[in-house]
Amino acid sequence: MSDSGSIFSLALGLVLSGDAELWSIIALSLRVSLTAVALACLIGLPLGAFLAVVKFPGRDAVVALLNAFMGLPPVVVGLFVYLALSRSGPLGVLGLLYTPTAMIIAQTILVTPLIAALARQSMADLHVEYDELFRSLGLSMSRTIAALIWDGRYSLSTAALAGFGRAIAEVGAVIIVGGNIEHVTRVMTTAIALETSKGDLALAMALGLILITLALFVNSAVLTLNRTARRLAYA
Amino acid sequence: MLKRSDAPVSDDISAQPLFPLAATDLVFADRGRTLIDNLSLTLDGRGITAVMGSNGAGKSLLLRLLHGLLTPTSGAIRWGGNPLSDEVRARQAMVFQRPTMLRRSAADNLRFVLNHLPRNERDRRVEELIAEAKLDHAAATPARLLSGGEQQRLAIARARATEPEVLFLDEPTASLDPASVHAIEEVVRTIHADGIKVIIVTHDIGQAKRLADDVVFINRGRVAEQAAAAAFFERPATDAAQAYLEGRLQF
Ligand SMILES: Nc1ncnc2c1ncn2[C@@H]1O[C@H](COP(=O)(O)OP(=O)(O)OP(=O)(O)O)[C@@H](O)[C@H]1O
Ligand SMILES: [Mg+2]
């Protein structure tokens, strides 16, 4: 009891003192996950819009697959990316294994289906509402997709935040392809796993506090977005 | 004979007149219900045409079919001899019974359809249209927060911005206050004076008398009556139209 209490105050001390190691881990985590989410948006938003707008044979199957991929286990994604990037793998020559780039790739793959599926859902609803107007105006496919993305900006931002939440909190993919190398590929979740097993509970707890804070931040951002969207009747 | 008129008269549809509009033996059925039932109709490009008829008669459906938003189960629609195409539709605009407002400001709803203009010209045009629609106070307001009447006026301005030759208006003044009704009727007159054919659905008999040159009366998915407005209101030829004008329910 007093033990965990002292761990907690040690952790708080680490956070507040601006411990260099702690902050370099946090910075790498943010860099990897934010980059992955940005890439996932670049792929996922147009993909979601396309699936919402364009009818083609097999679309339902693609959507079902996408929805299933929303819940991909991170370790499985990590395993596949590992196989692709390992020295004998198809992309082995790039020498990316155990680099932040590998972690970005893995998290992008992990998060893209989530963002695309959420985007597709909200843009499909919007498309139902706009379809007749857009057809009456004779809008091209690309303008239709651009308009849906812009008019869905609030719910799409929510989707991006959900993607960030998933990326920043996952451990399975980054530990496999990153290897948790100190100062190179060690991020918050992998550091927590390692430090806990080593018994350095203060550092683990400090990182845990940061993760919880980030989760709270993401959730309040989602709430604010939703509230703003409703106030402007943009929901 | 039908086969022959199926083919477009020439390749350059954009140069050809859109009228006469001819709908022949139109049928639109959905889940076993025949909603448009062998409807035939011819309209010329002059004047304001009022489409009237009871709730559920098929007026909105007819407009969607004529504008090409729905495909008829059978029958044919010819605009100046040409079948519906993107080119034909591009020369028309429609204001829906429940107007769709983009999730943007009122001004941006107009800017959206003026995309092809250079920026300063577009801004000038948006300002004109906003002023004409008497929405100066609300130009920056999210369109979906405008009142019902303001949304109708914005939707009409947006349709107008596309410079159509034909404008479909589906009950543009339902549930509006007298001043808004008046404002919209003024806009409709201006649009008509610009040489645009207006086809307007309305239940407002006074409005039809004020605006319409001719009336198409729809009953159960068919054209029950088509006549000059004065004649229609003076002596409706069918029981259905009589009942409608007198406010009697007909079964
Ligand atoms: N897209 C559609 N698909 C199938 N059925 C439809 C469709 N649109 C309308 N209907 C049905 O067709 C009938 C006629 O509808 P329509 O909207 O044309 O009536 P209306 O004459 O415009 O009536 P109101 O005066 O109430 O607007 C209704 O019974 C409606 O349920
Ligand atoms: Mg209607």
Residue from B122, B153, B176, B109 nearest A234 by CA: B109
Index of the ligand 1 atom closest to the CA of residue B53: 21
Q: Specify if A9 maps to a domain.
A: no
Q: Specify if A55 maps to a domain.
A: yes
- Tell me the residues of chain B between 139 and 158 that have a Cβ less than 8 Å away from chain A: 142, 144-145
Compute the count of residue pairs across chains A and B with CB atoms less than 8 Å apart: 42
Closest ligand by atom to B62 CA: 1
Residue nearest to atom 18 of ligand 1 (CA): B58
Q: How far apart are CA B165 and CA B191, in angstroms?
A: 10
Instruction: State whether residue B112 sits within 8 Å of chain A by CB.
Output: yes
CB spacing of B93 vs A136 below 8 angstroms = yes
| pLDDT tops 50 at residue B4 | no
CB-nearest to B100 from A133, A232, A233 is A133
Instruction: State whether residue B78 sits within 8 Å of chain A by CB.
Output: no
- Tell me the residues of chain A between 204 and 233 that have a Cβ less than 8 Å away from chain B: 232-233
* CATH code, domain carrying A38: 1.10.3720.10
Residue whose tokens read 């409005």 = B207
Residues linked to residue B78 through DSSP beta bridges, in sequence order: B22
Q: Specify if A70 maps to a domain.
A: yes
Which residue range(s) make up the domain with A41? 17-228
Q: How far apart are CA A165 and CA A214, in angstroms?
A: 8
Rounded to 10 degrees, the C-alpha dihedral A86/A90/A92/A98 comes to: -40
Chain A residues touching residue B162 (CB < 8 angstroms): 137
Q: Specify if A105 maps to a domain.
A: yes
- Is residue B232 within 8 A of residue B215, CB to CB? The reply is yes
Domains and CATH numbers, chain B: 17-246 (3.40.50.300)
Residue from B196, B178, B188, B194 nearest B157 by CA: B188
Q: Specify if A234 maps to a domain.
A: no
In what order do the strands lie in the sheet containing B166-170? B92-95, B166-170, B197-201, B48-52, B214-219, B222-228
Chain B residues touching residue A143 (CB < 8 angstroms): 115
Q: Specify if A151 maps to a domain.
A: yes
Q: Specify if A5 maps to a domain.
A: no
**Whole-structure pTM over 0.90, yes or no?**
no
Instruction: State whether residue A3 sits within 8 Å of chain B by CB.
Output: no
B53 lines ligand 1 (CB under 6 A): yes
Question: Could you list the pLDDT tens digit for every one of the 235 residues in chain A?
Answer: 447 788 888 888 888 888 888 899 999 999 999 999 999 999 999 999 999 999 999 999 999 999 999 989 999 999 999 999 999 989 989 999 999 999 999 999 999 999 999 999 999 999 999 999 999 999 999 999 999 999 999 999 999 999 999 999 999 999 999 999 999 999 999 999 999 999 989 889 999 999 999 999 999 999 999 999 999 988 8
Among B66, B67, B103, which would you mutate to test the A interface (most chain A Cβ atoms within 10 Å of its Cβ)? B103
Q: Specify if A182 maps to a domain.
A: yes
Mean pLDDT of B180-189: 90
The domain tally of chain A equals 1
Residue from B226, B200, B219 nearest B211 by CA: B200
- Is residue B77 within 8 A of residue B65, CB to CB? The reply is yes
